[in-house]
Amino acid sequence: MGERYTHLDIRERAVIEMNLALGKRPAQIAVYLNRSRSTITRELTRNGWHAAYYDRSRRRIGAGGYRCEKAGLRAGRLSRRARVERKSGRARHYGS
């Protein structure tokens, strides 16, 4: 198996937010944090970030939307919730 995975902490999320504000790309941030590029892009897309795009006159329009505090709160809330809802009632045993 691969290396042991650790969740992003608030410091790493703050570094992500700061570097995005400086115009860095997710791949550059991943190298700086020594994380996989997919980890950073997944974090960004889950928490409201969108990349800059350009209009016909090559003006940069929109970018951002990622906030480290909100992302950390969301991650904490999701970690406490079960991914699969438990079945209600008693378990039925078939056979024997």
In a domain? residue 22:
yes
Residue 1 binned pLDDT confidence (cut-offs 50, 70, 90): very low
Domain presence at residue 48: yes
Per DSSP, helices labelled H in 1-96 are 10-21, 26-33, 37-46, 68-80
What does the chain come to in residues? 96
pLDDT tens, position by position, 11-51: 999 999 999 888 889 999 999 999 999 999 999 988 888 77
Q: What pTM did the predictor assign?
A: 0.69
Supply the range of the domain harboring residue 20: 10-53+61-77
Give the DSSP letter string of 31-51: HHHT--HHHHHHHHHHTT-B-
Is 88's pLDDT higher than 80?
Answer: no
Q: Does residue 5 sit within a domain? A: no
Name the domain count of the chain. Answer: 1
Phi, psi torsion values for 3, nearest 5 degrees: -70, 165
CA distance between the termini of the chain: 39
| Residue 49 lies inside a defined structural domain of this protein | yes
Contact between residue 39 and residue 48 where contact means Cβ atoms under 8 Å apart: no
